[in-house]
């Protein structure tokens, strides 16, 4: 089984029909592929998506990856100002878990 191919297939499903993907709980399946080593590159585009459901799936996966999601911080930081509560919460959680000295300024804003 090719993890990269499987991740691409699930992401394609998400992008083609976000409502069905969400209703079917497929974000959990996507998460499992990332736990097994799927590359993070495509996850950044999900996190940055203008589609709320696509973004939500990407943020769910990133928030569950813990420190492994550090490479996604540039995609996550703009979401700290989101008015969508769950988006703001997930972005804050990811920053809190992944922040290092390079992101201290952003982390300080969360704390305050």
Q: What residue has token string 């952003």? A: 106
Q: Look up the domain containing 70 and give its range.
A: 3-111
pLDDT in tens, 52-78: 999 999 999 999 999 999 899 999 989
| Residue 27: closest CA among 55, 66, 5 | 55
| Residue 21: closest CA among 77, 60, 78 | 60
SS3 of residue 71 by DSSP = helix
> What is the pLDDT confidence band of residue 81, given thresholds at 50, 70 and 90?
confident
pLDDT in tens, 13-44: 999 999 999 999 999 999 999 999 999 988 99
Number of domains in the chain: 1
pTM for the model stands at 0.88
Q: Angle of helix 3-16 relative to helix 52-64, nearest 10 degrees?
A: 150
């Amino acid at each position: 089984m090719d993890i990269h191919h499987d991740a691409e297939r699930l992401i394609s499903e998400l992008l083609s029909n976000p409502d069905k993907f969400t209703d079917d709980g497929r974000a959990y399946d996507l998460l499992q592929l990332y736990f097994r080593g799927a590359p993070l590159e495509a996850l950044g585009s999900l996190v940055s998506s203008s589609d709320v459901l696509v973004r939500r799936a990407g943020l769910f996966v990133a928030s569950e990856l813990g420190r492994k999601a550090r490479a996604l911080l540039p995609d996550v930081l703009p979401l700290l100002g989101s008015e969508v509560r769950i988006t703001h919460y997930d972005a804050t959680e990811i920053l809190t878990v992944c922040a290092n000295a390079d992101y201290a300024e952003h982390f300080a804003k969360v704390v305050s």
